[in-house]
Chain A
Amino acid sequence: MEYVMHILVMVCMYAVLAISFNLLIGFAGLFALSQAVFFAIGAYATGLAAVAGLPFPMPEILAVLIGGIVGVLIALPALRTRGDYLVIVTLALQIVVLQVILNWKSLTGGTEGVRGIPGLSFFGVALSDPSHFLIYAAIVTALVFVFAWKVGHSPFGRAMKAMRENESAAQAVGKNLLYLKVSTFAVSAALAALAGSMFARYYNYVSVDSFSINETIYILAMVIVGGIGNLWGSVIGAAVLVALPELLKFLDMPTDIADQMRLVIYGVILILVLRFRPQGILPEPRGALHDGEETASAGGNASSLVVGDGSSKGEIVVDAKGLVKRFGGITAVSGFDIEMRAGQITGLIGPNGAGKTTAFNMLTGFLQPNEGSITLRGNSLLGLKPHRIVGAGVARSFQDLRLFRNMTVLDNVLVSLPDQAGDDLGQVFLRPAKVSRQEHENLARAMEVLRFVELDGKANETVNALSYAEEKLLVIARLLATGAEVMLFDEPLSGLDPTTLAEILPVIRKLADNGKVVCIIEHNLDVIKELSDVVYFLDEGRAMAVGTPEQVMTDPELAARYFK
Chain B
Amino acid sequence: MDLLLQLMMNGLVNGSHYALLGIGFGLIFATTKLVHFAYGPIYAATAYVCWYSFMQLGLPFWAAFGLCVIAAIVLGLLSYLIVYRPLQSRSDSGLVTLIASLGLYTVIENLLGVIFGTGVKSVQGIDSDVFFLGPVFVTSFQLMQIAALILVGGALALFLRFTRYGQAIMAMTDNAEMAQIVGIDTRFVALLVFAIGSAIAAVPAVLILLKDSAGTHMGFSAVFLAFLSVVVGGIGSLRGAVAGGFLIGFVESAGLWQISTDWQSSIAFIILFLMLMLRPDGLFGVKR
Contact = CB atoms under 8 A, between A and B. Distances in A.
Nearest to B112: A260
B186 to A, nearest CB: 20
Interface stretch (A45-53, A77-85, A154-162): A77-85
A270 B266 contact: no
Interface string A79-98: 01101110111011101100
B265 A81 contact: no
Interface in A334-368: none
B100 to A, nearest CB: 5
Nearest to A270: B103
Q: Which of B87, B98, B266, B269 has the most CB of A within 10 A?
A: B269
B100 A274 contact: yes
A257 interface: yes
Contacts of B58: none
A421 interface: no
Contacts of A85: 231, 276, 280
Nearest to B94: A83
B228 A268 contact: no
Q: Which of B90, B114, B260, B268 has the most CB of A within 10 A?
A: B114
A214 interface: yes
A185 interface: no
Q: Which of B103, B107, B266 has the most CB of A within 10 A?
A: B103
Interface residues of A, number: 40
Contact of B102 (A93, A95, A220): A220
Nearest to A276: B86
Contact of B106 (A93, A214, A224): A214
A95 B224 contact: yes
Given A271-B107, A274-B99, A84 B35 contact: yes
Interface string A258-277: 00110110111011001100
A268 B107 contact: yes
Contact of A96 (B86, B220, B269): B269
A256 interface: yes
Nearest to B266: A96
Given A80-B277, A85-B276, A260-B113, A267 B96 contact: no
A278 B87 CA distance: 10
A274 B269 contact: no
Contacts, number: 114
Nearest to A273: B103
Nearest to A328: B287
Interface string A350-392: 0000000000000000000000000000000000000000000
A35 to B, nearest CB: 12
Contacts of A214: 106
A261 B268 contact: no
Q: Chain A's interface: helix, strand, loop or mixed, by majority? A: helix
B175 interface: no
A39 interface: no
A27 to B, nearest CB: 14
Interface string A83-127: 111011101110110011011000000000000000000000000
A217 B102 contact: yes
B280 A80 contact: yes
Contacts of B191: none
A221 interface: yes
Interface string B217-246: 000100010011001000100000000000
B269 A268 contact: no
A88 B272 contact: yes
Contacts of B265: 95-96, 99
B155 interface: no
B105 interface: yes
Nearest to B118: A256
A77 B94 CA distance: 20
A355 B200 CA distance: 46
18 contacts: A33-B102, A77-B273, A81-B280, A87-B98, A89-B272, A95-B269, A96-B266, A96-B269, A99-B266, A220-B102, A256-B118, A260-B110, A263-B110, A264-B114, A267-B105, A267-B110, A270-B100, A271-B100
Q: Which 3 pairs across A and B sit closest by C-beta, in order of nearness?
A: A267-B107, A270-B103, A267-B106
Given A91-B224, A275-B86, 20 more contacts: A31-B95, A81-B276, A81-B280, A85-B276, A88-B227, A92-B228, A96-B266, A99-B266, A256-B113, A260-B113, A263-B109, A264-B106, A264-B110, A267-B104, A267-B106, A267-B107, A268-B107, A270-B100, A270-B102, A278-B96
Interface of A: 31, 33, 77, 80-81, 83-85, 87-89, 91-93, 95-96, 99-100, 102-103, 213-214, 217, 220-221, 224, 256-257, 260-261, 263-264, 266-268, 270-271, 274-275, 278
